[in-house]
Amino acid sequence: MPSMPWVDGECPSKRTLALQISHNRSARGLVGVIFTRQDRAGEGKLSSRLGLVTDAVEVTDMMDVYAYLVRELSAGGKADYVIVDEAQFLTPDQIDQLARIVDDLDMDVFAFGITTDFRTKLFPGSQRLIELADRLEQLQVEALCWCGARATHNARTVGGEMVVEGAQVVVGDVNRPAAEIGYEVLCRRHHRKRMTSAAAHAGALSPDVLPVNHA
């Protein structure tokens, strides 16, 4: 039975998995439609840092993804499944449209993205996916903080320093120069302390000390 899994994970792993799912299904003769938004490779592209790139349909704010797919099918196009990358950037209405694709068109929809922004707040699209998805899957390959702990938070950096204010969506990349906007995954402890890898290497780390009250 068609379903809509929500795959939560960091960019390098999730994009590779999205491309792998598309490749495996196309090798079986199935045809998929790939939607994406704000991929670093440019408009209408889905790319991974392994060098894999494929064409995709760029989603805009006002786009009705269900209506788009119906038009394609009505014009003689073929689609057996849908892949959505950067699904957190979609609007809640567009997430509802993805659910309608599953229910009304009997297609699997694989939605990939991250759950929270650099302020640890839910993206509106991610929140709606959590509410509607048939299941939530965490990537088996876990992202790690610079300290080695499991990375659970996304940090935005400007000039190498972590920031916690600003627009929710700003396109950046982990490989950009430090003077530009970038992103880094951190564990909760170091996100709370605003301790990026650059900050950690800038000075010696002191162990946490519990407060002691002297009589």
Residues with a known catalytic role? 86
d(CA 177, CA 23): 32
Judge contact between 85 and 36, C-beta under 8 A.
yes
Judge contact between 47 and 73, C-beta under 8 A.
no
Distances (CA, A) of 51 to 6, 8, 18, 32: 24, 21, 14, 21
Residue 11's Cα: distance from chain center in Å? 6
Q: What are the residues whose beta carbons fall under 8 Å from the beta carbon of 206, sequence distance 6 or more?
A: none
Judge contact between 38 and 181, C-beta under 8 A.
no
54 beta partners: 46
Q: Shortest CA distance to 115 belongs to which of 154, 59, 169?
A: 154
Tokens in use for 80?
Answer: 């057996």
Judge contact between 146 and 186, C-beta under 8 A.
yes
